[in-house]
Amino acid sequence: MDVFSVPSFVAVRRDTDLCTRCRGCDDSCDHDLVPSEREVVTHRDCSNCLSCVNACSTPGSLFLELRNPFGKVRA
């Protein structure tokens, strides 16, 4: 388990409009996660290795994004 994966300031996100659901990302995951079924991959075993992003046949469908893992912050 990667201690930086959850909570994390980066995550793999799937653009549901671009994704063709070819499942190439699923086949490339060393942790047997299923990125094709998630909009944001936040599983504790995800190490953000980007194998799924590199295996994606549709450019821009999977990408690494900056995020706020703590949700909305109130002042």
Sorted by sequence, the CB contacts under 8 Å of residue 30 that are 6+ apart come out as 49, 51
Alpha-carbon gap, residue 71 to 75, rounded angstroms? 13
pLDDT in tens, the chain (75 residues): 455 445 678 889 999 999 999 999 999 999 999 999 999 998 888 988 999 999 999 999 999 998 876 776 565
What the block records as the tokens of 25 is 């990302």
Is the entire prediction scored with pTM above 0.75? Answer: yes
What domains does the chain contain, in order, with CATH numbers? 10-66 (3.30.70)
